[in-house]
Chains A and B, each alone.
Chain A
Amino acid sequence: DTGVSQNPRHKITKRGQNVTFRCDPISEHNRLYWYRQTLGQGPEFLTYFQNEAQLEKSRLLSDRFSAERPKGSFSTLEIQRTEQGDSAMYLCASSLALGGGTDTQYFGPGTRLTVL
């Protein structure tokens, strides 16, 4: 399977614990995005990387959230001191930007986080 992959698929944690999610983009895609989706809502943008550079962060991304993309390949999203409000589906997407700003984003299966 050459699509976007995410691990783990499900994570249940207790409030206050730290969690880390991983995203492996489609090979050679230079852009990688993180979104969060709650029940009944569309995905909301969190942050985005072009290669290894993090170019934008949403104000939704509090200081408890950090994302990295070392070497411009896979990415990790860490949430520190989780809160019940962090419970959501965390989606990763990747795209190949060739210029012109019309790259298509392809989504992974998501990581469903439940904070007890």
Chain B
Amino acid sequence: EDKVVQSPLSLVVHEGDTVTLNCSYEVTNFRSLLWYKQEKKAPTFLFMLTSSGIEKKSGRLSSILDKKELSSILNITATQTGDSAIYLCAVLGNTGTASKLTFGTGTRLQVTL
């Protein structure tokens, strides 16, 4: 069964700090790894990673995939209070006709002033 583990489970930092969130996975027929940000509503898409070693960046957020280590990290630099959210990692596996996401439990990030 596909499995995604995220660490840490929760994190409290001061505004301006840099944080690194971790995701490791076991999945049949890996297709891609996705990061989502979830505040009070639905997960909003951040990144999709399919190839090892290629960093994706969006403003202060960046992410990279290591397919050899079956893991990914999400970095947030110069954190702001608006970054407070749950960050979800998910892997897209493909078994037969399915194309489903398996999510981790998330990392709850709180950024304080």
Contact = CB atoms under 8 A, between A and B. Distances in A.
Contact of B45 (A40, A55, A104): A104
Interface stretch (B11-19, B70-78, B99-107): B99-107
A103 B88 contact: no
Contact of B98 (A48, A93, A109): A48
Nearest to A50: B97
Given A42-B106, A101-B92, A104-B48, A110 B41 contact: yes
Given A102-B32, A102-B50, A43 B98 contact: no
A42 B99 contact: no
A96 to B, nearest CB: 12
A107 B101 CA distance: 12
B90 to A, nearest CB: 7
B41 A33 contact: no
A83 B99 CA distance: 29
A22 interface: no
B42 A101 contact: no
B32 to A, nearest CB: 5
A33 B96 CA distance: 16
Interface in B75-101: 88, 90, 92, 94, 96-101
Across the A-B interface, give the 3 residue pairs with the lowest CB-CB distance, nearest first: A42-B103, A107-B42, A56-B98
Interface of A: 4, 31, 33, 35, 40-45, 48, 50, 55-56, 58, 91, 93, 97, 101-110
Interface of B: 4, 31-32, 34, 36, 41-45, 48, 50, 88, 90, 92, 94, 96-106
